[in-house]
Structure 1
Amino acid sequence: MAHFTVIGLGRFGIAASLELIHLGHTVTGVDRSATVADKYVEELTQTVICDATDENALRELDLSNSDAVLVAIGADMQSSLLCTLSLKNIGVREIWVKASTKAHHTIVSKLGVSRIIHPEEEMGMRVAQALHYPMVHNYLALGHGMYVVEVHVKSAWQDHSLSQILERTSTSIDVLLLKRDQQTLTQLPLNFRVQPDDILLLSGSRAALTQLAPRLV
């Protein structure tokens, strides 16, 4: 279990906070609005009313106890930048920042933060991928054109082996695991036969997965 501080409890900030709580972590939510902070006092580990652009106010939060600080301030780029700069000045090492625009990204990148997040852009890409590949329920980009994708087995695949499913791909696709009901199976032989509602986790290049995609519909 880790502890995180989320600064800015708008839609993005509170969604991240509640999911971290759901995953078993503790979260301090910070917002300059007393109304917003009070709204989530029962749902988060702690809520604090604080002007995050004030470096002295941030120092009083004892952020050294946080494994990471997420700056989730939305439309107010100036406040986001001032907050990020203050966090750097007081020695916070793991800083994640939500960036709303390319200019915001460019400036934040000069501050040397751990990660810059573009939620609207990233969600837009995920929606486009879901529309284009409806059989893929989730995916993770690993970089260098490599992906991990989650695929739900269709009824048409009843008793098909993994080798039959993958036989027409010209490049390698690895089966990382298969989830069946409450079981998670790994190191599956190619003659393993799938059943409807099995969940496959596959990894491979974008080209290989794209070649496979039409067969998964």
Structure 2
Amino acid sequence: MKSQYAVIGLGRFGASISKELVQLGNEVLGIDKDEEAVDEMSSELTHTVVADATDEDVLKSLGIRNFDCAVVAIGDDIQSSILAAIVLKDLGVKKVVAKALSELHGKVLDKIGVDRVIYPERDMGIRVAHQLVSPNLLDYIEISKDYTIAELSVPKRICGLSIRELDPRAKYGCSVVAINKKTGVIIAPTATDVVNEKDIMVIIGTNDQIEEFENEVIG
């Protein structure tokens, strides 16, 4: 079933999220005060509307509470971002996700009950830094304060070893949740699955566990 998303703020971040959600087969309502931004996205999204998302009556009239998720992607107006998030929570939207421009902005969004706060610039900076210092690290996503998912390229030195032989869970506390091979992706690999050079291992664990595994196994 298609999910319905409302994206408030159609700047670079909001436009990017909106288009990707549509690509993934969802219905997206784009909302922005700027008529030009709305016009630009009108052919890309399911619906677009020029509206002030801090106005409760306007959001009510759009049937916002019936949406599965609302994303507050307002650019540089922190006050509007916070007000829009408050209105969405008051109207009972099932899930509210909001972009934070700073740690303080994020704390306020947390306090008002936003379900997920995204720090796009900070998170991208962290991911780029990790990729720069670890050539075998292809991607790095922090999924909570404690846990991370990392994609690691398999080097020649461990080519032909099975998951049992690598034994990441017992030795390091992290788990291989997928192996991306040329022939396809193995989800939840078994102990007998073997890694080959240039396969990509998707690993979940704490930062420390993944770092230890990377240093000792990947090298």
Offset at 1:74? 1.6
- 2:172 match: secondary structure: coil
- Equivalent pairs counted in the alignment come to 215
1:54 aligned partner, one-letter code: D
CA shift in 2, pair 1:104/1:175, >3 Å: closer
Q: Say whether residues 1:91 and 2:114 are aligned partners.
A: no
* Alpha-carbon separation, structure 1, partners of 2:172 and 2:61: 55
Percent identical pairs in the alignment equals: 33
- Aligned partners of 1:57, 1:41: CA distance in 2, in Å? 19
Kindly provide the CA deviation profile for residues 5-35 of structure 1, in whole angstroms up to 9, marking residues without a partner as x: 0000001111111111122211111111111
Task: Look up the equivalent residue of 2:31 and give its one-letter code.
Answer: V
Q: Which structure 2 residue ranges, 5 or more long, are not aligned?
A: none
What are the Cα deviations for residues 34-61 of structure 1, in whole angstroms up to 9, with x where unaligned?
1110111111111111111222211111
> In the alignment, is residue 40 of structure 1 matched against residue 41 of structure 2?
yes
Q: Verify the 8 A CA contact 2:66 2:93 in the aligned structure 1.
A: no
Q: How does 1:49-128 map to 2 (within 5 A)?
A: 49-128=50-129
Deviation (angstroms), 1:90: 2.6
Give, in whole Å, the separation in 1 of the partners of 2:104 and 2:148.
29
The change in CA–CA distance for 1:22 and 1:181 in structure 2 (over 3 A counts) is same
Deviation string 1:156-210 (CA, Å, 9 cap, x unpaired) is 544344455558x8433322222223433344225x4322332212233333321
Which letter does structure 1 place at the counterpart of 2:43?
E
Q: Decide whether the 8 Å contact of 1:20 with 1:26 is kept in 2.
A: yes
CA shift, 1:106, in A, is 3.1
When normalised by structure 2's length, the TM-score is: 0.85
Q: Map 1:132-143 onto structure 2 (within 5 A).
A: 132-143=133-144
Give the CA deviation at 1:80.
1.4
Distance of 1:176 and 1:31 partners within structure 2: 39
The answer to whether 1:188 aligns with 2:164 is: no
* Further displaced range: 76-85 or 207-216: 207-216
Cα deviation code 1:75-131 (max 9, x no counterpart): 111211222222233332321111212332233233222122211111111112212
